Structure 1
Amino acid sequence: MEEALRSVLTQSYRNIELIIIDNASTDQTVAIIKRIVREHPRVKFIANPENRGLCKAFNQGLYLARGKYVIDLSGDDLLLPQRIERQVVAFERLSDSYGVLFSNARYIDTHGEPLHEHYPLDSKGKAKVPVPSGDVYKEILRKYFICTPTMMIRRSVLDELGGYDESLSYEDFDFWVRSGVRYRYFYQDEILTHKRIVPHSLSGEVARPGNQILESTYAVCNKAYDLNRDQEEFDILAARIRTFIRKCLYAQEFELAVRFRKLLNYIEDPDLLTEAIVLLCRLRLPINGIYRFYLANFQKKPPRRKDLALDVVVP
Structure 2
Amino acid sequence: MDRHQLPAQPLVSVICTCYNQASYLNAALDSVVQQVYPSMELHIIDNGSTDVSRKFILAWQQKNAGKLPIRCQFQDSPINYCQSFNRALAQSSGDLVLDLAADDFLHPRHVAEAVKRLKETKASVYFCNVLHLYPDGRTRAFYPVDASGKAIGPVPQGDVFASVVERYRISSASLVLNASVLKAAGGYDETLVYEDFDLLVRMARDQAFVYGDLLGVTKRVLPDSFSRQQYRAGETRFLSSTLRVCDKIASMLRTEEEVQALKFRLIHETKHALASGNFASAAGFLKRYPNRRLGDWRYYFYKGWLASGWDFSRLYAWWRRRRDL
Would you call these one fold, judging by a TM-score over 0.5? yes
Alignment-derived partner of residue 79 in structure 2: 52
Q: How does 1:156-171 map to 2 (within 5 A)?
A: 156-171=180-195
Matched, 1:221 2:246: yes
Per the TM alignment, residue 255 of structure 1 is displaced from its structure 2 partner at its CA by 2.1
Distance 1:248 1:217 in 2: 11
Matched, 1:85 2:112: yes
Deviation digits for residues 157-192 of structure 1 (CA, Å, limit 9, x no counterpart): 111210001111111110111110111100111222
- Aligned CA distance change for structure 1 residues 212 and 7 (closer, same or farther; 3 Å): same
1:232 to 254, 257, 264: 257
Alignment-derived partner of residue 102 in structure 1: 127
Verify the 8 A CA contact 2:82 2:190 in the aligned structure 1. Answer: yes
Q: How does 1:25-174 map to 2 (within 5 A)?
A: 25-41=49-65, 42-95=69-122, 98-110=123-135, 113=137, 115-174=139-198
Verify the 8 A CA contact 1:68 1:155 in the aligned structure 2. Answer: yes
Per the TM alignment, residue 55 of structure 1 is displaced from its structure 2 partner at its CA by 1.1
Matched, 1:210 2:235: yes
Verify the 8 A CA contact 2:47 2:84 in the aligned structure 1. Answer: yes
Deviation digits for residues 249-292 of structure 1 (CA, Å, limit 9, x no counterpart): 1232222222221210x333473442342343344333322221
Distance 1:244 1:83 in 2: 32
Verify the 8 A CA contact 1:106 1:114 in the aligned structure 2. Answer: no
Distance 2:291 2:89 in 1: 36
Q: Which amino acid aligns with 2:267?
A: R
Verify the 8 A CA contact 2:82 2:193 in the aligned structure 1. Answer: yes
Distance 2:144 2:314 in 1: 33
Alignment-derived partner of residue 38 in structure 2: 14
* Structure 2: 5+ residue stretches without partners: 1-24
Distance 1:77 1:209 in 2: 28
Moved more, 85-94 or 209-218: 85-94
The two structures, once aligned, show a CA RMSD in angstroms of: 1.9
Distance 2:303 2:215 in 1: 42
Per the TM alignment, residue 231 of structure 1 is displaced from its structure 2 partner at its CA by 1.2
Q: Which amino acid aligns with 1:38?
A: Q
Alignment-derived partner of residue 187 in structure 1: 211
Q: Which amino acid aligns with 1:61?
A: A
Verify the 8 A CA contact 1:99 1:185 in the aligned structure 2. Answer: yes
Verify the 8 A CA contact 1:252 1:281 in the aligned structure 2. Answer: no
Alignment-derived partner of residue 306 in structure 1: none
Question: What TM-score comes out, normalization by structure 2 length?
Answer: 0.85
Per the TM alignment, residue 114 of structure 1 is displaced from its structure 2 partner at its CA by 5.6
Identical aligned residues as a percent: 29
Distance 1:267 1:31 in 2: 55
Verify the 8 A CA contact 1:254 1:282 in the aligned structure 2. Answer: no
2:222 to 179, 187, 198: 198
Question: What TM-score comes out, normalization by structure 1 length?
Answer: 0.87
Q: Which amino acid aligns with 1:255?
A: A
Distance 1:227 1:8 in 2: 36
Distance 2:297 2:120 in 1: 49
Distance 1:254 1:6 in 2: 44
Verify the 8 A CA contact 2:172 2:200 in the aligned structure 1. Answer: no
Alignment-derived partner of residue 284 in structure 2: 259
